């Protein structure tokens, strides 16, 4: 029997059986096992049919399995019947105790239907009696379970929309057919992926199964890049050299892009210029739609875009300063090469390694806004350049990629507030300043994360990197000491002002410290983030390209009732 915690909570409204699902915790029925209704199983001849006998009830559990479905007869209020169609779908039809009156198609998957509150059945609503059902219904994919496939997401709670008085009763796409999910799609599993995952409850995230922070400690960015694109870490020196030579040969800017960069640098921010430049790279290189490209060509396009992105952002930064671009060097690793292209000076090895550690930690991080954007565009079959450009647009939002410099601004304000105060008064001054911000409802940049309910592993690692860099100078030591003091005071105050939220430092907090100590200008914080995240974007795009299904959700219309009479223009 599959445990409830390992499968998604599925909306019966999407199956046409009811109008509302309670998204609260699962509720146990007070009825005893002897009071539970048996499940009747009907049979009809057809391809793939495996039903035809009553299903034994598990007396120790409220949940029973019916031909690939786990149903809770107590939760749904009674008995249900199942039959198999020739088309390979199962209609669930009404039996005693279930208020729906007709069969509805559902794809055969292993599902767990729980937390259902049958407030109002279709039989009670005459407007729902004859509306056609969607065919096929959207795929409802469960999480893999078992010893080798531990669940990686909390159950997804979906709730059917109950239309308001002005909503029109319609068919598929109308109010009755929609399924409401949490704002921001929080906790909603939209696809399967082998690229990586974020396990927020235990404070871990991984790239293809390898903890990302351990990769950052032990491998260079090129090795992790190979893992993301090809699915495996280089196993020996020969494989390392082969991939390293391949990607470093793609770092140079096309002539057409080089010519336009000075104009882009003067016209807007580095991310603005990056969007335009990457679009031009795709055009100049003749990138074809994913739908029309071979896997080999897609891979080549992915490597080209990820390899040229650091060169573009560094050239845009120098162009904004009125300086000429610095050519990339094939003998330098990713961190060292970025520092070289920004300054034109030989990078110090410790700074290069610190920056590369940061870059590895930010390659991928679940279905964040920019990664999901890239996959949505990829699902249309667009070219890789278009997909990455869309992702950069999502990253340009300050709630996604703009926080490292803002977190550093917080430290600057705290530094100014305590600069002339005795050491013993500094904690009190910081408490007053942060407390006033929190009391006014202000958000503390660099604290809190949508997924982690414990320490952000990226922040933990970058805190260690910052501690090593602090030994290089008294100024660096003073900066890191201030960061730790502000962190400690802010976490304590956040617990008081936002109880139960578990708000701690996220990657942006110490990322700003590390990049600042390495000599990366603040205006380059988010572009540097993009120069590594593009590897994760392209890995996700390549995976999405293998799925021919376009991502096309629906919206719940809440405007005036339709159709409305078009008024005449008053004379």
pLDDT tens, residue by residue, 310-331:
999 999 999 999 999 999 999 9
pLDDT at 214: 97
pLDDT of residue 56: 36
Q: What whole-number distance in Å separates Cα of residue 122 and Cα of residue 129?
A: 7
Quote the pLDDT of residue 404.
65
Select the more confidently predicted residue: 304 or 556: 304
Q: Mean pLDDT, to the nearest integer, of 303-309?
A: 98
Q: Closest Cα partner for 106 from 133, 144, 125, 124?
A: 133
User: Rounded to whole angstroms, how far apart are CA atoms 468 and 471?
Assistant: 6
Annotated catalytic, 508? yes
CA distances from 221 to 75, 111, 240, 288, 351 (A): 50, 39, 11, 27, 15
pLDDT for residue 491: 84
Residue 12 pLDDT greater than 90, yes or no? no
Domains of the chain in sequence order: 1-189 (no CATH), 216-396+539-545 (1.10.580.10), 403-517 (1.10.230.10)
Give the H or E element holding residue 198: strand 196-199
pTM of the model: 0.69
Q: Which element (helix H / strand E) includes 207?
A: strand 204-207
Per cent of the chain over pLDDT 70 is 68
Catalytic residue (choose from 176, 206, 449, 487): 449
pLDDT reading at 1 higher than 60: no
* Residue 387 DSSP label: H
The predicted pLDDT at position 25 comes to 37
Run of H or E including 391? helix 384-395
Taking the CA atoms of 315, 339, 403 and 536 in sequence, report the sign of the dihedral they define: positive
Mean pLDDT, the chain, whole residue set:
74
pLDDT of residue 401: 65
Q: Around Cβ 98, how many Cβ atoms within 10 Å?
A: 23
CA neighbours within 13 Å on the CB side: how many for 34?
0
Measure the N-to-C terminal CA separation of the chain; round to a whole number of Å. Answer: 71
Stretch 254-272: mean pLDDT:
94
Alpha carbon 305 to its chain's center? 21
Residue 48 pLDDT > 60, yes or no?
no
Instruction: Give residue-wise pLDDT tens across range 83-129.
Output: 333 333 343 333 334 333 333 333 333 333 323 332 233 333 333 33
pLDDT of residue 427: 85
């Amino acid at each position: 029997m599959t445990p409830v915690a390992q499968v998604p909570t599925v909306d019966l409204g999407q199956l046409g059986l009811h109008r509302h699902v309670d998204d609260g915790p699962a509720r146990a029925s007070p009825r005893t096992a002897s009071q539970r209704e048996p499940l009747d199983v009907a049979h009809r001849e057809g391809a793939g049919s495996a039903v035809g006998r009553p299903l034994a009830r598990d007396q120790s559990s409220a949940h029973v399995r019916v031909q690939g479905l786990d149903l809770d007869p107590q939760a749904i209020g009674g008995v249900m019947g199942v039959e198999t169609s020739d088309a390979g779908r199962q209609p669930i039809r009404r039996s005693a105790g279930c208020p729906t009156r007709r069969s509805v198609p559902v794809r055969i998957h292993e599902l767990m239907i729980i937390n259902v509150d049958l407030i109002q059945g279709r039989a009670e609503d005459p407007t729902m009696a004859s509306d056609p059902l969607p065919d096929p219904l959207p795929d409802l994919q469960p999480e893999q379970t078992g010893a080798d496939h531990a669940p990686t997401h909390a159950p997804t709670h979906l709730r059917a929309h109950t239309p308001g008085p002005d909503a029109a009763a319609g068919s598929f796409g109308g109010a009755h057919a929609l399924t409401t999910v949490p704002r921001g799609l929080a906790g909603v599993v939209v696809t399967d992926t082998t690229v990586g995952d974020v396990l927020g409850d235990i404070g871990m995230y991984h790239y293809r199964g390898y903890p990302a922070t351990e990769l950052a400690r032990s491998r260079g960015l090129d090795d992790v890049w190979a893992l993301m694109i090809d699915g495996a870490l280089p196993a020996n020196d020969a494989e390392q050299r082969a991939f390293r030579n391949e990607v470093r040969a793609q770092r140079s800017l096309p002539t057409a892009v080089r010519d336009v960069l000075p104009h882009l640098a003067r016209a807007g921010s580095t991310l603005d210029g990056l969007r335009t430049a990457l679009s031009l790279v795709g055009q100049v290189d003749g990138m074809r739609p994913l739908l029309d490209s071979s896997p080999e060509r897609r891979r080549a396009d992915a490597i080209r875009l990820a390899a040229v992105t650091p060169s573009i952002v560094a050239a845009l930064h120098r162009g904004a300063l009125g300086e000429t671009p610095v050519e990339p060097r094939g003998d330098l690793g990713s961190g060292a090469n970025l520092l070289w292209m920004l300054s034109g000076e030989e990078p110090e090895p410790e700074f290069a390694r610190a920056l590369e550690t940061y870059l590895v930690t930010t390659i991928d991080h679940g279905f964040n806004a920019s990664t999901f954007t890239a996959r949505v565009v990829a699902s249309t079959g667009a070219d890789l350049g278009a997909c990455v450009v869309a992702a950069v647009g999502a990253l340009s939002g300050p709630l996604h990629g703009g926080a490292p410099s803002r977190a550093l601004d917080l430290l600057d304000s705290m530094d100014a507030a305590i600069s002339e105060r005795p050491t013993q008064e500094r904690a009190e001054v910081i408490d007053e300043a942060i407390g006033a911000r929190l009391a006014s409802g202000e958000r503390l940049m660099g604290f809190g994360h949508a997924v982690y309910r414990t320490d952000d592993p990226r922040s933990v690692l970058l805190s260690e990197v910052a501690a090593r860099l602090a030994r290089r100078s008294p100024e660096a030591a003073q900066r890191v000491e201030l960061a730790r003091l502000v962190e400690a005071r802010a976490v304590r105050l956040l617990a008081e002002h936002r109880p139960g939220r578990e708000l701690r430092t996220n990657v942006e907090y110490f990322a700003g410290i590390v990049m600042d100590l390495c000599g990366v200008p603040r205006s380059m914080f988010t572009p540097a983030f993009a120069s590594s995240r593009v590897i994760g974007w392209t890995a996700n795009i390549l995976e999405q390209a293998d799925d021919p299904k376009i991502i096309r959700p629906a919206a719940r219309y809440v405007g005036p009732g339709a159709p409305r009479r078009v008024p005449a223009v008053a004379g």
